[in-house]
Chain A
């Protein structure tokens, strides 16, 4: 009953209450959105760390980690692979060979790590196959000799990626909404090839107006990008005997993740092709990457595996990337801090409002106390009033915040002006906010707490009243 009185009291001075409710709403939306943004960002990074870079667990010969020498393959892998196939916690695993090589084309050369893989196995562990760009590339589905999948960055360095404006490309400009006059200007560049982004952009700048570049620049770049598939790249490396080996691979696909460092270093070839060139046996492998099923305790899995295979180096993604591990732990703390601060700022307004409400009702309160409502009830009434006031705003705020996150979560937010810096470190510049129920629970609890704490001052004011004097006051 006190509850319903408290609730009605909230609405007695509509205007005043609304002001506070709106303030709390805005604050909550801000808090929810900020948290959603951060959570989405970090979730993406983690996803990338696990599903593109490291997997949940990585197994190597312990000496391999020092300098990645080819001789240190995983010894006697049969027991290990049997375990990996049978353990119910494991989603998939992929055994790879790895060779550090020099890649060369007619025009350029660079250092690369060749990963010898089984495409079907690798797909269960790494999502590179979902990150192909360009129209004709495939992940080892095109029949050809010695296929290789390289990154956009590598293609650029090796001059396999070029920018070219052909009549078809101009058509695609038109389709993408580039205005006719811009297309006209670009037609003088027909059939010229530019092997670096820099050179192409320079020419674009020379021929187009500033606003044209601003509005259509990225479209022009994206549509003019051209990878010549089946380009040959000759790799030089030393095999397991220390002999110098040459092997040619042909590009069958180009991928791009948002970690430039990963992209720059890694190229993927079929295990049997690499084995032929480097002199590996059919079951040789340098590392095995393991992905566990969702909600598995990865640490426990790792420990079990260590117990079963003490001679091997078995590391979880947390071991391999402690910064990533720390981030998740910090996250929860951060949300608390953010929401806490926002609520603290709001508390002033809430206290003020409630105090005013109390002072207005001195006479009434005095009456209530005179007719026998005990102090505890009065306190509870005021407290409930405060909590309801705050909670209304918060609930509305969480609702709005959730909607905003749902919307932006689909389209994502683009911070491309600073993308290069982030992608160099492996962070995405295109963020998809997300939030989980646990967060809302925390916010609700915090809000209730704020309400209770804010009610203390006004409640004490109320309780300090002398009922007799209160009735007589004006």
Chain B
């Protein structure tokens, strides 16, 4: 899932430690801002693959739901997710391959390709939409970047970068603001604004932990701006990188078999 790549990055310790020094004395320039974002986005590009176990919590004024799942992802963008809990949802799997999102439901033994009309819906009822999962809009490629200031979040000094979409990109947002740690180029917070300049949602990443020798925020929150009492949390229980993957792993067959 995309979640693995854009929100959690690990510094390739050796290489970047060196460059870090130069960045701390950064001048406020757009090319630097772009570099910052690029680093944050490509943090895990070196990794061939990843495996993670996460818990999704959907918080609503009237109720709360927990969903546990496993995800396998690879560099090209394909990913396979398997729901492991609760019992009612267990066994469903989702495949992101090429430009499509597929869903397998063991109860009905059917494989379905999600149509455009379902793209805006939240995945499993959360605030993270099918569209968010599927689309590959690049924070580097589709925007212009401006370094606004520096702020500290949770004790970590961050660059505050403002992103404005390019004319021709297929981006919904009018503006995105990112808080990226100066140390390890982790995206700790982002705010999404519509074209009128009103904030629509906020993402927060915190509780940094080490997974497979990489430092990552273990909890991510998606908080819609106009809905008090509603948010979505994802917490990483386990994560491994560069695990071996069978050649036809990301296939429809595998969706049905994966355990």
**Chain A residues within CB distance 8 Å of chain B:** 101-102, 104-107, 109, 111, 145, 159, 162, 193, 228, 231-232, 234, 236-238, 243-248
Contacts and interface: CB of A to CB of B under 8 A. Distances in A.
Contacts of A243: 99-100
Given A236-B116, A246-B170, 9 more contacts: A104-B172, A105-B172, A107-B194, A162-B196, A232-B171, A232-B195, A234-B172, A236-B131, A243-B100
B223 to A, nearest CB: 15
A102 B119 contact: yes
Contacts of B174: 106
B162 to A, nearest CB: 16
B170 A234 contact: yes
Interface of B: 99-100, 115-117, 119-120, 131, 134-135, 165, 167-174, 192-196, 198, 200
A107 B170 contact: no
B153 to A, nearest CB: 24
A102 B120 contact: yes
Nearest to B117: A102
A111 B195 contact: no
B200 A107 contact: yes
B120 A109 contact: yes
B116 A106 contact: no
Contacts of A101: 116
Contact of A238 (B115, B173, B194, B196): B115
A109 B194 CA distance: 13
Nearest to B174: A106
Nearest to A193: B196
Contacts of B193: 106
12 contacts: A102-B116, A105-B172, A106-B194, A106-B200, A107-B200, A145-B167, A193-B198, A228-B195, A232-B172, A244-B100, A248-B170, A248-B171
Contacts of A246: 135, 170
A246 B192 CA distance: 20
Contacts, number: 61
Contacts of B99: 243-245
Contacts of B117: 102, 111
A230 B174 CA distance: 11
B173 A106 contact: yes
Contacts of B172: 104-106, 232, 234
B15 to A, nearest CB: 35
A106 B195 contact: yes
A109 B129 CA distance: 12
Contact of B116 (A107, A193, A238): A238
Contacts of B168: 145, 248
Contacts of B135: 246
A238 B173 CA distance: 22
A228 B196 CA distance: 8
B134 to A, nearest CB: 8
A431 B194 CA distance: 40
B215 to A, nearest CB: 32
A159 B174 CA distance: 13
A238 B192 CA distance: 27
B192 A106 contact: yes
A236 B119 contact: yes
Contacts of B169: 248
Nearest to B192: A106
Contacts of B170: 234, 246-248
A105 B198 contact: no
Given A106-B200, A145-B168, A248-B170, A237 B116 contact: yes
Query: Lowest 3 A-B CB distances belong to which pairs?
Result: A106-B194, A236-B116, A109-B120
Contacts of A228: 195-196
